[in-house]
């Protein structure tokens, strides 16, 4: 991250030289700013759409242009939630351009289903080349399990965008029942009782068989509730879920920032658990791109990844979070009030329902350093967890585990990440030596040893497999 001071010292150059081919995006961050990011900065532009706050430390376009780059153009889809911030920041702060990717388009997707449909089309047909995904969506798309006509489109998982920043929201009508991270018997009986009363606990996620579905299933099952038998889980668009929680027809919602604070602030509900409490530094969402695009553009891929890696390092500096919020909350991006984003971005979570508030930066969405491993590097052991959890719930056949090495080696391209990390100047010590993060520990005491995924499934009381 010494690059920033370098960049800053070159700012004079970009202003006087006019930056020739560089778009105004880069320049608007370069003019008339204080030299250092202020820790108390209110973001200047205050979240106005498309006008990111004035700032220092803007990357200089083409400063580290990758030689022989095959294309400067790619379209990446994103969903307006905190997971997408590294893509938006790489674009708005000039990190893509710094490596020569001056024509990157970050395209907002209406929902996960649209992202999948758009990647199937590809950018040539007006869709996207890749972007942000919940797991194991890139695997399911590669295998043709969630695409039209079951046609497989090989995808490469290239980088993890973030960890944490997700949680389980519960409707306000269930306050006072003890619905927290761990459920006492009375709280279990309360949820089970709802089914007996003919009004089963109904909870939503935004796409089936992926992270948010898996998080709420894990939380319920760890607390003795069978998600396939004792409750009703269903796919509902985020906005509709919140509306339904308001009117009382939805009981829970597995979701990420910026939704949780809005739900608590508007007194729609409370948070039973943060994913950061369930599994510290857990795998969350990823960058994956069509394999045919990557194979055709290996150097452009490296440039793209280097830009995102720098953006992730930038996003993880506490002193940059106010500016991060002022950029992503804008109309062109999340289009939310900065006030609902900043507290969680500082690790301040109001849980509601009488639970103590959380105030710990390390509990927030993290993009680079979570104290467990490297957030950005796509560990194969995490891909294996997603496949194992999919087997647990019967989403994928049991034989997936026997074939897992072959399946993962085809999709996970941590090798490309490593090359890009070197290009971005990441210290050798910060580049993981192994493709496994080792044994993972969960809040209920369970462990996932990536060398023995079958043992993990065996250790779980509630499952379908
Ligand atoms: Ca998420």
Whether the ω angle into residue 136 lies within 30 degrees of 0, i.e. cis, is yes
Q: Which of 425, 428, 426, 448 is nearest to 438 (CA)?
A: 448
Under 8 Å between Cβ of 200 and 163: no
Q: How far is the CA of 28 from the centre of ligand 1 (A)?
A: 31
pLDDT the model gives residue 39: 30
* pTM of structure: 0.88
pLDDT the model gives residue 433: 96
Torsion of CA 334, 335, 336, 338, to 10 degrees: 80
pLDDT the model gives residue 337: 93
Helix, coil or strand: residue 290: strand
Q: Which of 343, 419, 277, 322 is nearest to 45 (CA)?
A: 322
Give the pLDDT band (50/70/90) at residue 364. very high
For the ranges 21-30, 114-123, 138-147, 186-195, which has the lowest average pLDDT?
Answer: 21-30
Q: How far is the CA of 287 from the centre of ligand 1 (A)?
A: 13
Under 8 Å between Cβ of 171 and 268: yes
Q: How far is the CA of 209 from the centre of ligand 1 (A)?
A: 13
Q: How far is the CA of 366 from the centre of ligand 1 (A)?
A: 12
Residues with CB under 5 A from ligand 1 (ion): 166, 256
Q: How far is the CA of 425 from the centre of ligand 1 (A)?
A: 28
For the ranges 19-33, 309-323, 369-383, which has the lowest average pLDDT?
Answer: 19-33
Q: How far is the CA of 162 from the centre of ligand 1 (A)?
A: 9
Q: How far is the CA of 402 from the centre of ligand 1 (A)?
A: 28
Please provide the average confidence, as pLDDT, over all residues in the chain. Answer: 88
Q: How far is the CA of 255 from the centre of ligand 1 (A)?
A: 7
Cross-strand bridge partners of residue 447 = 441
pLDDT digit string, tens, across residues 307-363 = 999 999 999 999 999 999 999 999 999 999 999 999 999 999 999 999 999 999 999
For residues 39-50, give the mean pLDDT.
32
Torsion of CA 285, 333, 361, 366, to 10 degrees: 20
CA 114/CA 116 separation, integer angstroms: 5
Query: What is the DSSP-derived secondary structure letter of residue 327?
Result: H
Q: How many CB atoms lie within 10 A of CB 20?
A: 8
Q: How far is the CA of 341 from the centre of ligand 1 (A)?
A: 15
Q: How far is the CA of 163 from the centre of ligand 1 (A)?
A: 9
Q: Which of 380, 367, 390 is nearest to 440 (CA)?
A: 380
Q: How far is the CA of 211 from the centre of ligand 1 (A)?
A: 6
Q: Which of 191, 214, 188 is nearest to 278 (CA)?
A: 214
pLDDT digit string, tens, across residues 175-214 = 999 999 999 999 999 999 999 999 999 999 999 999 999 9
CA 345/CA 331 separation, integer angstroms: 19
pLDDT the model gives residue 57: 58
Q: How far is the CA of 326 from the centre of ligand 1 (A)?
A: 21
Q: How far is the CA of 96 from the centre of ligand 1 (A)?
A: 23
Under 8 Å between Cβ of 195 and 231: yes
pLDDT digit string, tens, across residues 220-272 = 999 999 999 999 999 998 888 888 999 888 999 998 888 888 899 899 999 99
pLDDT digit string, tens, across residues 50-73 = 334 444 457 888 999 999 999 999
Whether the ω angle into residue 117 lies within 30 degrees of 0, i.e. cis, is no
Q: How far is the CA of 377 from the centre of ligand 1 (A)?
A: 17
Q: How far is the CA of 213 from the centre of ligand 1 (A)?
A: 10
pLDDT digit string, tens, across residues 425-443 = 999 999 999 999 999 999 9
Residue 134, pLDDT above cutoff 70: yes
């Amino acid at each position: 991250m010494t690059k920033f001071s370098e960049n800053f010292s070159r700012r004079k150059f970009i202003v006087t030289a006019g930056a020739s081919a560089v778009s105004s995006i880069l320049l608007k961050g370069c003019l008339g700013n204080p030299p250092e990011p202020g820790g108390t900065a209110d973001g200047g532009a205050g979240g106005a759409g498309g006008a990111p706050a004035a700032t220092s430390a803007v990357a200089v376009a083409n400063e580290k242009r990758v030689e022989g780059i095959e294309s400067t153009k790619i379209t990446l889809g994103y969903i307006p939630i905190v997971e997408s911030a590294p893509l938006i920041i790489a674009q708005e702060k000039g990190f893509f351009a710094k490596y020569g990717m001056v024509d990157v388009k970050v395209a907002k997707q209406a929902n996960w289903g649209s992202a999948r449909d758009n990647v199937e089309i590809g950018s040539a047909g007006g869709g996207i080349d890749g972007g942000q995904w919940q797991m194991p969506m890139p695997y399911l798309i590669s295998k043709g399990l969630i695409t039209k006509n079951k046609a497989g489109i090989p995808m490469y998982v290239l980088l993890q965008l973030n960890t944490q920043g997700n949680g389980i929201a519960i409707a306000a009508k269930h306050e006072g029942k003890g619905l927290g991270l761990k459920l006492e018997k009375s709280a279990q009986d309360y949820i089970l009782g709802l089914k007996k009363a003919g009004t089963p606990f109904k909870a939503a996620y935004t796409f089936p068989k992926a992270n948010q579905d898996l998080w709420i299933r894990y939380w319920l099952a760890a607390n003795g509730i069978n998600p396939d038998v004792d409750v009703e889980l269903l796919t509902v668009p985020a906005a509709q879920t919140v509306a339904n929680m308001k009117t009382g027809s939805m009981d829970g919602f597995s979701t990420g920032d910026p939704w949780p604070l809005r739900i608590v602030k508007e007194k729609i509900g409370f948070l039973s658990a943060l994913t950061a409490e369930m599994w510290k530094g857990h795998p969350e969402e990823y960058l994956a791109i069509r394999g045919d695009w990557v194979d055709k553009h290996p150097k452009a891929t490296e440039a793209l990844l280097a830009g995102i890696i720098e953006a992730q390092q930038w996003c993880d500096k506490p002193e940059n979070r106010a500016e991060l919020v002022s950029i992503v909350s804008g109309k062109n991006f999340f289009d939310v009030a900065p006030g609902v984003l900043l507290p969680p971005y500082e690790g301040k979570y109001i849980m509601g329902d009488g639970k103590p508030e959380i105030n710990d930066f390390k509990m927030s969405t993290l993009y680079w350093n979570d104290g467990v491993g490297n957030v950005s590097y796509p560990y194969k052991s995490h891909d294996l967890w997603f496949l194992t959890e999919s087997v647990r719930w019967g989403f994928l056949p049991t034989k997936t585990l026997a074939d897992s090495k072959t399946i993962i080696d085809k999709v996970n391209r941590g090798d490309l990440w490593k090359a890009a990390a070197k290009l971005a100047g990441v210290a050798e010590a910060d580049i993981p030596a192994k493709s496994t993060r080792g044994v993972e520990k969960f809040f209920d005491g369970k462990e996932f040893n990536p060398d023995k995924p079958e043992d993990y499934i065996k250790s779980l009381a509630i499952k379908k497999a």
